[in-house]
Amino acid sequence: MQRGIKKLWAPWRMAYISKLGGKDEGCIFCTKPKQQTDKENLILHRGRTAFVIMNLYPYSNGHCMVIPYKHTSDLTELTDEETLELMQLVKLTIKVFKKVFNPEGFNTGFNLGRAGGAGISQHIHFHVLPRWVGDTNFMPVLAETRVISEHIADTYDKLKKAFDEETKA
């Protein structure tokens, strides 16, 4: 049995940590859905006015976002149709999480504006995170590290299958 320091494996974070590329590619919430590489871009579901995408830098396993196609930072600029579909996709995401992960709770919501904690403040996005009793620990506080229990590609495959099953009817 190996003792001592344990390794955390999260290779997808290297681009974020090292800021590889360094060029401004525009709003990722506008460019990603225009591409036809959903798996590479972690897009799980496309609706008429909004889509569901996994967070490449998740706070917890399965962290998803529901995002309108319209580029806006102002919630009041969304039409009623866009607002309705946004919330319908939040409900669908929660239904999929219940099916795939059986979480004990959820964190959901918007961070509006930089002062409100938005990492990408120029484009509204609704966070949906599955949660379990005891899923928080000392790592973020003491080691400034989050532990994600499953490789993001494996999580994508599970969630994508469930989204497809739920929406094919």
**Tokens representing residue 141 in the block:** 């506080």
- Please state the pTM of the whole predicted model: 0.80
- Asked about 71 being catalytic, the answer comes back as no
pLDDT score recorded for residue 20: 45
Query: Half-sphere exposure of 167 toward its Cβ, with a 13 Å CA cutoff?
Result: 18
Q: What percent helix, strand, coil does the chain show, rounded to 5?
A: 40, 15, 45
Distance separating alpha carbons of residues 158 and 165, to the nearest angstrom: 11
The mean pLDDT of 106-132, rounded to a whole number, is 90
pLDDT score recorded for residue 139: 47
- 120 pLDDT more than 70: yes
Residue 54 pLDDT level (bands cut at 50, 70, 90): very high
pLDDT score recorded for residue 33: 97
152 or 140, which is more confident?
152
Report yes or no: 89 and 50 within 8 Å, Cβ to Cβ: yes
Q: Which fold has domain 27-167?
A: HIT family, subunit A (3.30.428)
pLDDT score recorded for residue 3: 60
Report yes or no: 128 and 50 within 8 Å, Cβ to Cβ: no
Burial class from Cβ neighbours inside 10 Å (0-12, 13-18, 19+) for residue 108 reads middle
Residue 137 is labelled as binding a ligand = no
Q: Which of 63, 123, 125, 151 is catalytic?
A: 125
pLDDT score recorded for residue 57: 82
The answer to which of 8-17, 103-112, 118-127 has the lowest mean pLDDT is 8-17
76 or 17, which is more confident?
76
Residue 151 is labelled as binding a ligand = no
pLDDT score recorded for residue 23: 52
Rank 7-11, 70-74, 147-151 by mean pLDDT and report only the highest.
70-74
